[in-house]
Amino acid sequence: MTRATAVAHPNIALVKYWGKADRELNLPATGSLSLTLGIFPTTTTVELTEEATDQVILDGATLSGEESARVRAVLDLVRERAGTGAHARVTSTNTVPTAAGLASSAAAFAALAKASSVAYGLSLSDAELSRLARRGSGSACRSIFGGLARWNQGTSDETSVAEPLEWKGEDLAMVVAVISSARKKIGSRAGMNHTVETSPYFEGWVRSNAALVERASRAVAEADFTSLGEIAEMSALRMHASMLGAEPPVRYLTGKSFAIFDAVQALREEGLEAYASADAGPNVKILCRSREAALVTQSLRERIEDVKMHVANAGPGAYLLDEG
């Protein structure tokens, strides 16, 4: 096959990844744990061409610079394994506003790993796909899997890989509260590298977050939704605390983000279990039970004005589209 199309979904970390131990291999400073969402898929087609270079087209626009370099770097790894120098045309369609802290790069690189490996004739296991996706964007290694996934920190290309986690509790959902779809000023890669280099809190973040990965894994094994939610909110706030300590500070959360954190806390006080999280942007993601997601959304709408909300249940891992 010289052409393949794959679909992947974004994932939201319940225990965050923030900071690299190795920039070349994209090894993280701690493990992380996430939920793959059933909304905002990215569809990517990779087709081998006779051209002298790779071509990367995202939502109809040809990419250049850093963004296309990251895609080409993943293609290089695939070419090396496949033993060919053939270039490719990569055409990708996002359904999530790009770079708005909604993890579009996770879905993009998971879809790219799957589509490119098949287009180049490789038959990779999910673990191999996860390693490959990680090289493009760390969080992408988790989007190879559906539902809950844990990215084991690892100390090498081989050991730094995600795996699916079984959840025997009630179905999980995330309400994505979109405050802004504007392109963020500081991307997650630059933001985390800057935090590693300048924040005196980074060490404390690493130590505490490594422990949260273990606690969250136990909560998942015990189907303990309350613990998982509490840990998720803590990990998100600790990640943001590590960046607030950077010089100059990296600040993604706005007053409105905090207003949503407040509203989520108020819901809990009324007995509706929901937990807030946020990534490299102002938008807030709220973990709740699937059967209560509509109620959470409605209750938040009553409290916060001008916020667009999307409800996501757990989504599937990366898969190939049959182009028949």
Q: Which among 57-65, 111-119, 137-145, 158-166 is the span making contact with ligand DP6, rule CB under 6 A?
A: 137-145
Rounded distance between C-alpha atoms, residue 87 and residue 2, angstroms:
11
Closest CA to 174 of 94, 96, 255: 96
Q: Does 26 bind ligand DP6 (CB under 6 A)?
A: yes
Return the number of the residue (38 or 138) whose C-beta is nearest ligand DP6.
138
What is the Cα–Cα distance from 161 to 97, expressed in whole angstroms? 27
Pick 157 or 292: Cβ nearer ligand DP6: 157
| 61 vs 91: CA distance, rounded Å | 9
Looking at the Cβ atoms of 206 and 267, the one nearer to ligand DP6 is 206
Bridging pattern class, strands 61-62 and 32-36: unpaired
CB of 79 or CB of 135, closer to ligand DP6? 135
Footprint (CB under 6 A) of ligand DP6, residues 229-288 = 279-280
**Is the CB of 235 or the CB of 297 nearer to ligand DP6?**
235
Residue keyed to tokens 């699916």: 164
Smallest distance from ligand DP6 to CB 15, Å? 8
Residue whose token pair is 């504007």: 182
- Out of 4, 7, 10, 17, point to the residue binding ligand DP6 (CB under 6 A): 17
| Token pair for 263 | 């509203």
List binders of ligand DP6 among 174-193 (CB under 6 A).
Answer: 188-189
Instruction: Compare residues 165 and 272 and give the one whose CB is closer to ligand DP6.
Output: 165
Q: Which CB sits closer to ligand DP6, 219 or 267?
A: 219
Interface mask toward ligand DP6 for 89-108; x: CB under 6 A: --------------x-x---
Tell me how long the chain is. 324
**What is the β-pairing status of strands 87-94 and 55-58?**
parallel
Residue 116 engages ligand DP6 in binding (rule: CB under 6 A): no
Q: Is 19 in the site for ligand DP6 (CB under 6 A)?
A: no
- Measured from each CB, the residue nearest to ligand DP6 is 138
Whose CA is closest to 288, among 267, 304, 309, 273?
A: 273
Q: Which residues contact 52 (CB under 8 A, 6 or more apart)?
A: 87
Those residues whose C-beta lies under 8 Å from the C-beta of residue 187, and which sit 6 or more positions away, are 99, 280
Residue 68 touching ligand DP6 (CB under 6 A): no
Q: Is 133 in the site for ligand DP6 (CB under 6 A)?
A: no
Residue 137 sits in the site that holds ligand DP6 (CB under 6 A): yes
Task: CB nearer to ligand DP6: give 49 or 198.
Answer: 198
Rank residues 54 and 279 by Cβ distance to ligand DP6 and give the closer one. 279
Stretch that binds ligand DP6, among 132-140, 210-218, 258-266, 311-319 (CB under 6 A): 132-140
From CA 255, how far away is CA 193, in angstroms rounded?
A: 25
Span from 15-23, 257-265, 268-276, 282-290 in contact with ligand DP6 (CB under 6 A): 15-23
Q: Which residues bind ligand DP6 (CB under 6 A)?
A: 13, 16-18, 26, 32, 103, 105, 137-139, 188-189, 279-280
